[in-house]
Structure 1
Amino acid sequence: MSTEHGNYIDGDWIESESGETFAVSNPANKNEILGTYQQSTSDDAKAAIEAAVAAQDEWASTPAPERGAVLKRTADALEARKDELTKTLTTEEGKTLSEAGGEVQRAIDIFTYYAEKTRDLGGTMKAASAGNKQLYTKLEPLGTVSLITPWNYPIAIPAWKLAPALATGNTVVFKPASAAPGVSLKLVECLEQAGLPSGVVNYVTGSGSDVGAPLSEHGEIDAVSFTGSTAIGTIVAQTATEDLKRVQCEMGGKNPTVVMPSADLTDAVDIVGSGAFGVTGQACTACSRAIVHEEVYDEFVAEIVDYAESLTVGDGTDDVDMGPHVTESELDETLEYVNVGREDGATLETGGNRLTGDEYDDGYFVEPTVFSDVNADMRIAQEEIFGPVLAVLSVSDFEEAVAVANGVEFGLSASIVTDDLSEGHRFIEGVEAGVAKVNEKTTGLELHVPFGGYKQSSTNTYREQGDAGLDFFTSIKTAYLNY
Structure 2
Amino acid sequence: MSELISTEPATGKEFWRHEVGNVDEEVARARSAWTAWAARPLANRCELVRRYANEIRTASDELATTIARETGKPLWEARTEVEAVINKVEISINAYGERTPNRKLDAALGGSMALRHKPHGVMAVLGPYNFPAHLPNGHIVPALIAGNTVVFKPSEKTPATAEIMVQCLHKAGVPEDVVRLLIGAADEGKGLVAHEDVDGILFTGSATTGIAINRALASRPDKLIALEMGGNNPMVVMNTPKVQDAATLVIQSAFTTAGQRCSAAGRLIVHEDMYDAVIAETKKLADRLIVDEPFADPAPFMGPVIDNEAADGLTDSFLYLLSNGGKAIKHMVRRDDSLPFLSPGIIDVTDIKERPDIELFGPLLQVIRVTSLEEAIAEANNTRFGLSASLVGGTPQEYNQFWANIRAGIVNWNKPTNGASSAAPFGGVGLSGNHRPSAYYAADYCAYPVASAEMEQPRANIGVGLKDG
TM-score (norm 1): 0.91
1:228-282: CA deviation from partner (whole Å, max 9, x where unpaired): 1111111111223422211111112000100001352111101111110110001
What is the identity, as a one-letter code, of the residue corresponding to 1:29? T
1:338-364: CA deviation from partner (whole Å, max 9, x where unpaired): 1111111111111312113xxxx6531
Q: Is 1:465–2:439 an aligned residue pair?
A: yes
2:144 corresponds, among 145, 160, 166, to 166
1:426 corresponds, among 389, 401, 406, to 401
Q: Is the 8 A contact 2:321 2:349 kept in 1?
A: no
| Residues in 2 aligned to 1:188 and 1:143: alpha-carbon distance in whole angstroms | 19
SS in 2 for 1:456: helix
Match runs of 1:31-42 below 5 Å: 32-40=13-21
What is the identity, as a one-letter code, of the residue corresponding to 2:306? V
1:38 is displaced (CA, Å) by 2.4
Task: Report the equivalent of 1:374.
Answer: 350
Match runs of 1:342-353 below 5 Å: 342-353=322-333
Task: Report the equivalent of 1:28.
Answer: 10
2:104 corresponds, among 117, 122, 125, to 125
Task: Report the equivalent of 2:25.
Answer: 47
SS in 2 for 1:410: coil
Q: Is the 8 A contact 1:69 1:115 kept in 2?
A: no
1:183 is displaced (CA, Å) by 1.2
| Residues in 2 aligned to 1:105 and 1:38: alpha-carbon distance in whole angstroms | 30
Task: Report the equivalent of 1:407.
Answer: 382
Q: Is the 8 A contact 1:96 1:321 kept in 2?
A: yes
| Residues in 2 aligned to 1:104 and 1:451: alpha-carbon distance in whole angstroms | 19
Distance 1:296 1:142, change over 3 A: same
1:61-103: CA deviation from partner (whole Å, max 9, x where unpaired): 0101100111001101111111211111111101111111111
1:397 is displaced (CA, Å) by 0.6
| Residues in 2 aligned to 1:232 and 1:117: alpha-carbon distance in whole angstroms | 28
Match runs of 1:129-148 below 5 Å: 130-148=108-126
What is the identity, as a one-letter code, of the residue corresponding to 2:433? S
Q: Is the 8 A contact 1:259 1:292 kept in 2?
A: yes
What is the identity, as a one-letter code, of the residue corresponding to 1:330? A
1:384 corresponds, among 359, 373, 376, to 359
Q: Is the 8 A contact 1:276 1:286 kept in 2?
A: yes
1:279-314: CA deviation from partner (whole Å, max 9, x where unpaired): 000111111111000001112111111111111111
Alignment identity in percent? Answer: 30
Task: Report the equivalent of 2:245.
Answer: 267
| Residues in 2 aligned to 1:231 and 1:263: alpha-carbon distance in whole angstroms | 40
Task: Report the equivalent of 1:292.
Answer: 270
Match runs of 1:85-104 below 5 Å: 85-104=63-82
Q: Is 1:475–2:448 an aligned residue pair?
A: yes
What is the identity, as a one-letter code, of the residue corresponding to 1:370? I
* Gaps in structure 1 of 5+ consecutive residues: 1-18
SS in 2 for 1:126: strand
1:388-435: CA deviation from partner (whole Å, max 9, x where unpaired): 011111010111110000011110000000141111122111110011
| Residues in 2 aligned to 1:261 and 1:66: alpha-carbon distance in whole angstroms | 53
Q: Larger radius of gyration, structure 1 or 2? A: 2
What is the identity, as a one-letter code, of the residue corresponding to 2:10? A
What is the identity, as a one-letter code, of the residue corresponding to 1:401? A
Q: Is the 8 A contact 1:237 1:459 kept in 2?
A: no
* Gaps in structure 2 of 5+ consecutive residues: 457-469
| Residues in 2 aligned to 1:279 and 1:58: alpha-carbon distance in whole angstroms | 40
Q: Is the 8 A contact 2:75 2:294 kept in 1?
A: yes
What is the identity, as a one-letter code, of the residue corresponding to 1:247? I
Task: Report the equivalent of 2:303.
Answer: 323
Count of aligned pairs between the two proteins: 452
Q: Is the 8 A contact 1:68 1:116 kept in 2?
A: no
| Residues in 2 aligned to 1:475 and 1:29: alpha-carbon distance in whole angstroms | 46
1:201 is displaced (CA, Å) by 0.6
Distance 1:337 1:196, change over 3 A: same
| Residues in 1 aligned to 2:322 and 2:160: alpha-carbon distance in whole angstroms | 37
| Residues in 2 aligned to 1:314 and 1:50: alpha-carbon distance in whole angstroms | 44
| Residues in 2 aligned to 1:385 and 1:314: alpha-carbon distance in whole angstroms | 21
- Out of 430-439 and 79-88, give the one that drifted further: 79-88
